[in-house]
Structure 1
Amino acid sequence: MKSKDIFRTQVASFVPISPGVIETVPSKDSLLGATVTASPASVALDEGGSVFAVDGASVAPELQKDGIPTVPDTPFCLTLRIDLAIMSGSLLLVTYQVTALWPDEITIKSTNPLSGDLVPSGEQSKP
């Protein structure tokens, strides 16, 4: 297996608190800490050897440059990013678990239910 045969990509998703509902926070520094685990959940194998891997995952509040429908200001939203590696097949679903720690004094607002095709428009924060 050659590393050039492995397709690598990153996917991003909002972290929902219920179907179609996400939370907005005042700033990127609002999050005290978080843990995330992610793994392939459903795959379609091609003939021959297949590889499906999660190379890394992170979660952080990201500024949504394009805004969020039903939210008046440009919000920061908790965003999950997963680095994937795929060879000879299709990755259909990923499962994940996020635990976030917020300060007591922060104001977290929940959105109204959003459409399922809304994707994050923020950029990954640099450390």
Structure 2
Amino acid sequence: MHTRRWVLLAAGAAGIAASSVTGGRLQHVIWLLTAIACASPLFVPAGGTAARIGGDEFAVLLPGSDAAAAGVVARAFLDLLDVPVLIDGHPLRVRASVGVVDGDPKAAETLLRRADARMYEVKRERQMSSSS
């Protein structure tokens, strides 16, 4: 019997809160997070589901996909964020880390925890490579 797999991407948009809230611009953070959510049809294929899961973190569920397809979606998301967003005339650049995992859809909570852990692992790896 073939078990259906899901691929889950967890993405954290680093740099939003630090650059916006410190200037007293919490509303800018809300606008930017809303813009990312509204842009999800640009990077989430048909059958996929994107959701904000808290703070500056998003999850994208790709039922029946594989790691290669998830990599394409992750790259599209990162490319979308690569373009600075103008808010009140100020460019805001957002960086993100993406963790990709696959697994059994019956274990959705475990899948989300694994994707979140992988995202933070990617973030640490990027920070370590930029500091060397």
TM-score, length of structure 1 as denominator length: 0.36
Higher helix fraction: Structure 1 or Structure 2?
2
Higher strand fraction: Structure 1 or Structure 2?
1
Where relative contact order (Cα < 8 A, 6+ residues apart) is larger, the structure is: 1
Asked which structure has the greater CA Rg, the reply is 1
TM-score, length of structure 2 as denominator length: 0.35
